[in-house]
Structure 1
Amino acid sequence: MEQQDLARVSFICMKAFMHSVAPGLSNEGIDMFREIAATDSFSNRIKGDNTVLVFEEAGTVQGVIELKEGRHVAMLFVDPESQNKGIGNELISEVMAYARTKTITVSASLNSVSAYLKYGFACTGEPDEKSGLKYQPMELELNKSSKKDALKRASS
């Protein structure tokens, strides 16, 4: 992600969140997510130890993934109008090259659990809630032999 992508990335995150996640949350959760997805929040995180990749089509950002500290998927959103085209899968596959641990975790929104299961993640506990955001802890064990195997598994 580059600086000029910040506004579009924030917009996609909010659009996808409001479309599919927000209806099941309290105002507290929606407000918390607004803060997390704000352009200045993204800008601060990319200055730290977070990797943010975007998927572009015809010069327009269609999806985003954020990997925190090489170990945790903090964001994965695709523009609702571009979903079910393999963009999420491609973002997961690409971000694996930045993994620095044998296990990648995610606090998946409850409605995204089935997508993460398709990417190869497994549930690791009971659903929980923090600051009004409901989530399912999940993880993906990377193949010990190589990250390429993990990429193949995530893309199948």
Structure 2
Amino acid sequence: MQICKLTHDDLPRVSALCLDAFMLAVAPSLSAQGVETFAKVAAAQAFAERMEGDNLMLVCVADATITGLIEFKEGRHVAMLFVAPGWQRRGIGMRLMNAALEQARDETVTVRASLSSVPFYESYGFVLAGEIGEFAGLVYQPMEKRLS
């Protein structure tokens, strides 16, 4: 397994990976508006636009396949973390998280975790940091991790 920066050539595969994982794990608990909002955020063009900003986007490649993605915004916020459904529970999420946290530029890293992903973020050392919120149909739990 190798962690490397997202390239423009990877965009269609990363978009598909995120949508596949989201539809399985998160979409069933959301409204149609939430699913539509996420589909826009995970579109290849939306990723391309965010690549131009201060977002670190890393992918995990195994067997010549993109198996996971993390998007780390402004060196302090996990904007997205997905592992392909067939590749979960193999340490890919942890490798991506560790690679992103090595680039942290703040003492505290935050995430707006989907409710189904809260246990995974807790296993990465994140703790609850506020009440459950909702934005454009996406329901999330604010969490944070203090870095030593």
Specify if TM > 0.5.
yes
Which residue of the partner structure matches residue 133 of structure 1? 138
1:40 aligns with 2:45: yes
**SS at 1:98 equivalent:** coil
1:43 maps to amino acid = A
Q: RMSD between aligned alpha carbons? A: 0.5
1:123 lines up with 2:112 in the alignment: no
Structure 1's unaligned 5+ residue stretches are 144-156
1:17 aligns with 2:22: yes
Distance in 1 between the 2:127 and 2:71 partners? Answer: 19
TM-score, length basis structure 2: 0.95
Note the C-alpha offset of 1:52: 0.1
Higher fraction of strand: 2
Distance 1:31 1:21 in 2: 12
Q: Give the structure with the higher percent helix.
A: 1
Offset from partner CA, 1:56-77 (integer Å, 9 cap, x none)? 0011100000001111000000
Count of residue pairs brought into register by the alignment: 143
Corresponding residue SS for 2:106: coil
Structure 1 residue 68 and structure 2 residue 68: aligned?
no
CA distance in 1, matches of 2:133, 2:70: 22
Identity of aligned residues (%): 50
> Normalising by the residue count of structure 1, what TM-score does the alignment of the two structures yield?
0.91
**How far apart, CA to CA, are the structure 2 residues paired with 1:11 and 1:117?**
26
**3-state SS of the aligned residue for 2:116?**
helix
Structure 1 stretches of 4+ with a deviation exceeding 2 A read none
Q: Which letter does structure 1 place at the counterpart of 2:8?
A: Q
Listed one character per residue, the Cα deviations across residues 100-147 of structure 1 (whole Å, up to 9, x for unaligned) are 10000000000000000000000011111111000000001000xxxx
Whole-angstrom distance in 2 between the partners of 1:56 and 1:123:
30
